[in-house]
Amino acid sequence: MVFRNMGFLMIIVGLIMIVLGALFFLSGDHFSWLGNLPGDIRIERDNFTLYFPLTTMIIISILLNIIVRIFLYFFR
């Protein structure tokens, strides 16, 4: 029974990721600031580019944490 619930959860998470990906793809330049925030690390050399979106990851983590807490508050 546990594996059935886990499979259902994975399908739901996958569908949510597809919808979010489509929204980002179709939004065009509305989210161009995402990934270009102060604190995002970009190092460019001749044959090497390192991009580490530190600030963007922190903001996304905080937003996802708030969404999950609200979801658990209402559906517990």
**What pTM was estimated for this model as a whole?**
0.64
- pLDDT digit string (tens) for 18-61? 998 898 888 878 877 777 889 999 999 999 999 999 999 999 99
Three-state SS at 25: helix
Sign of CA dihedral 16, 58, 69, 66: negative
Confidence of residue 1 (pLDDT cuts 50, 70, 90): low
Sign of CA dihedral 27, 32, 33, 39: positive
Instruction: Write the Ramachandran bin of 53: left for phi over 0, alpha for psi from -120 to 50, otherwise beta.
Output: beta
Polymer length of the chain? 76
